Structure 1
Amino acid sequence: MTKFRDEPADVTIQNTDRPFRGRVWDVHNDTILFAGETLHRHYIAHPGAAAVVALDEDDQILILQQYRHPIRERDWEVPAGLLDVPGEDPIVAAQRELAEEVDLQAATWDHLLSFTPTPGSSSEVIHVYLARDLSHVVTDYVREGEEAEIVPHWVSLDDAVSAALAGQFRNGTLALGALAAAEFLRRERAA
């Protein structure tokens, strides 16, 4: 197998400012020197996120329907949330989100993948974990805003993969998470 990976780039940042500061993320305006040329780039400075493919003993994946204002839809997704604390380990955030969003905890955790959903416009990295050996947990977390209307649903992992490939939903984290979980289980069971 050919080995390839993303590589850090040494780019000179000549100037940076933040024309917008938000509750969750800021917009940066950088002036950079790249290949001898001065370029101006705006991007969202994002703290990152963690997502959970929660799988029960029957290979059913937990998906959530939640309103997302930028796309004006109630999309299907997996439990996920921001890395709220600077320097927070993504698996800790994933465990917190699973408990807060659906009152579950998992005894078995595996890292599936990390990806940059929009590298041309955001610094966001989403870390996706497979959570198994699930059990109910009681939390004092109060779901507000869009989270107050989350609709949980269990669907077979095979159906989630088929739905992703058929374009039945567009949430990238759900699609990548389902595909990665299916491949993870295939390899685990073949070993």
Structure 2
Amino acid sequence: MGRVSQAQAQENRRRVVETASRLFREQGTHVSVAELMKASGLTHGGFYKQFTSKEALIDEATAHAFGELTRLRDSGTEQYGGRHDAAQRALIDTYLSPEHRDDAAQGCPAAALATDMARGPEGGDAHRVYTEGVRDFAAWLATDDEDGITRLCTMLGALVLARATNGSPLSEEILGTARSALSTDS
């Protein structure tokens, strides 16, 4: 089999990073390299042509996930004509929805990767990217009256608890209660 072109190698790398970003949010960073490559439609051996280690992929996939979150926030601000308060309200409503609860793979990296980051090395790039991403998200959620950290903690905690209790009426109650609490903050 011949070598792949540079363009194909870049496409393969992009596909692996996107797949890893989804799988890590859905299942955690313990997903094996073999599982990641199979889900990407590539061979296990191709992994080490693209990445020096699984940790390097975790770093890149974490950055990719937070990049998606930033693009979502920015597009919401544009959609609401630069009205930051309206974009915040829409994002909070979407964040605390059953659809977001049920789709961890496409969801918030702050909620999905929290446990993995707490167990991983503090000095790694993924931990740094995660910390900066949480800080940026909290800053975006801030209002004139409230620190964004409180709002983010409410949202993230509610999402994690709603996912953990999914299938019970409590899950819906958690989402609704958090949405109501945050709507009084706006």
Range into which the TM-score falls when normalised by the shorter chain: under 0.3
Output the TM-score relative to the length of structure 1. Answer: 0.24
Give 1 or 2: higher strand fraction. 1
TM-score in terms of structure 2 length: 0.25
